[in-house]
Amino acid sequence: MAAELAGLVAVARNPVEAGYVRLNGAPGAIYQAISLGKIYLKEIIFSVEKAMEAIISFFQAGGYVHGQVEQFTLNLKGGFDIGQIKVKFGNLCYSLSLYWTQVSSDSGNLSLNSQRINKEL
């Protein structure tokens, strides 16, 4: 619903003291998300590649692969959206598994040719 209305959803679960948030929170997260969205919208009019390059630059990340989607699954169970996407790039096959609750992305795993290449996101 929020995406359709171009809005933002904020959820407060288990409220905590301000001091706890100051020590353990993610200051600037909403500002960063808005900034990233602006960069994406500015570059996507040119091409997906330009948008990806801008996103990589924003995060000072390494790169991305461009390939064919081999498999996509999404299962809805018990309030969770559990999915996986496999992308083939030459002889390599990247697999990304994601686990969402109805309000947040909890974790994700990235693997290459069935070998995990990251810790939980």
The verdict on 59 and 98 lying in the same domain is no
Instruction: Give whole-number Cα distances, 6 to 40, 77, 95, in Å.
Output: 15, 27, 30
Residue span of the structural domain in which 85 resides:
67-121
**What is the tens place of the pLDDT at every residue in 2-34?**
455 555 556 666 778 888 888 888 888 888 889
Which of residues 42 and 66 earns the better pLDDT score? 42
Task: Report residue 121's pLDDT band, with 50, 70 and 90 as the boundaries.
Answer: very low
Residue type, 54: A
The number of C-alpha atoms within 13 Å of 69 and in the hemisphere containing its C-beta is 6
Task: For residue 107, give the DSSP letter.
Answer: E
Residues contacting residue 54 through CB under 8 Å, at least 6 positions apart: 39, 40, 42, 43
d(CA 47, CA 5): 24
Q: What pLDDT does 2 receive?
A: 47
Q: What pLDDT does 8 receive?
A: 56
Q: What is the mean pLDDT of the chain?
A: 77
The verdict on 4 and 38 lying in the same domain is yes
The verdict on 48 and 35 lying in the same domain is yes
Last residue in a domain, options 64, 84, 112: 64
Contact 75, 98 (CB under 8 A): no
Q: What pLDDT does 14 receive?
A: 72
Which of residues 116 and 14 earns the better pLDDT score? 14
Task: Report residue 77's pLDDT band, with 50, 70 and 90 as the boundaries.
Answer: confident
Residue type, 99: Y
**pLDDT at residue 72 greater than cutoff 80:** yes
The verdict on 6 and 43 lying in the same domain is yes
Overall number of domains in the chain: 2
The verdict on 8 and 42 lying in the same domain is yes
The verdict on 37 and 73 lying in the same domain is no
d(CA 80, CA 99): 7
Q: What pLDDT does 42 receive?
A: 95
